[in-house]
Structure formats: structure tokens, C-alpha cells
Amino acid sequence: MDEYIKKLRKHIGNSPLLLVAAGAIIYKNRKILLQRRADSGNWAIHGGVLELGETVEETVKRELNEEIGINPIKLKFYKVFSGEDMHTVYPNGDEVYYINVIFLCDEYEGGIKTG
């Protein structure tokens, strides 16, 4: 978890946070690459929360590299998801309302690492 979020949580506990996240739908040959989240067990696209001063594009590139070892060549804006559907309560009680900026990615460098 980002140090910024940890600092906020020290002050507000489990109360709702509004967080901006960015992710990518990675697809090839009519297939989408998903990950199983460790915190919830749900299937999800790859991405994460913006760090201070970071753009949404920088976040997607960083997360894709950290999580699966690829570097996107081209990101195409897809959609912003927000509102009640993006409300999450984690098993530890932390509550978050996400604003998710999602991109499409079908061109990347590097081999996808798993596990």
C-alpha cells in the first residue's frame, strides 16, 4: 500500500477514502488478461492507485511493469468508472470509493510474467 494512503489511514481509520486509480484492459486474439486479487479473491484487470504527482498514464505503465513485466507501447483511453459501483470495503474494514480511469492495451513489449 502506498505510504500516502497509510498516513491517511492513521488519521481516519477505516472511514471512506476517495482514490483515483488507473488500469488497462490487456487483450490479444479476442482474449483479456485478468488477475486474481490477493485481497478479495476477485478477478480484475491490472492497475493501481495513483501516487502523488503521477499521471494516470504513468500509473498504468508503472503498474503493468511491476505486476506482469510488460511495457505498453500504446494506451487508448476507454472509460472512467466512478460512483456507488466503485465502492469497496476491504476485509480489514477499509472503505474506498474509486475513480477508475481505464485504458485499452493490445501492444506491449516484454513477456508477461505470472505468479
CATH of the domain at 39: 3.90.79.10
Q: What pTM did the predictor assign?
A: 0.90
pLDDT at 115: 67
- Please report which confidence band the pLDDT of residue 1 belongs to, taking 50, 70 and 90 as the band edges: low
Q: Residue type for 103, please? A: F
The answer as to whether 73 is a domain residue is yes
Model pLDDT for residues 54-92, shown as the tens digit of each residue? 999 999 999 999 999 999 999 999 999 999 999 999 989
Model pLDDT for residues 11-42, shown as the tens digit of each residue? 999 999 999 999 999 999 999 999 998 877 88
The answer as to whether 74 is a domain residue is yes
CB atoms within 10 A of CB 97: 15
pLDDT at 17: 96
pLDDT at 42: 87
Residue 47 burial by CB count (10 A; 0-12/13-18/19+): exposed, middle or buried?
buried
The answer as to whether 115 is a domain residue is no
DSSP H or E stretch at residue 55: none
CA–CA gap between residue 65 and residue 94 (Å, rounded): 27
Q: Which domain holds residue 36?
A: 3-109
The tally of domains found in the chain comes to 1
The answer as to whether 9 is a domain residue is yes
The answer as to whether 45 is a domain residue is yes
DSSP 95: E
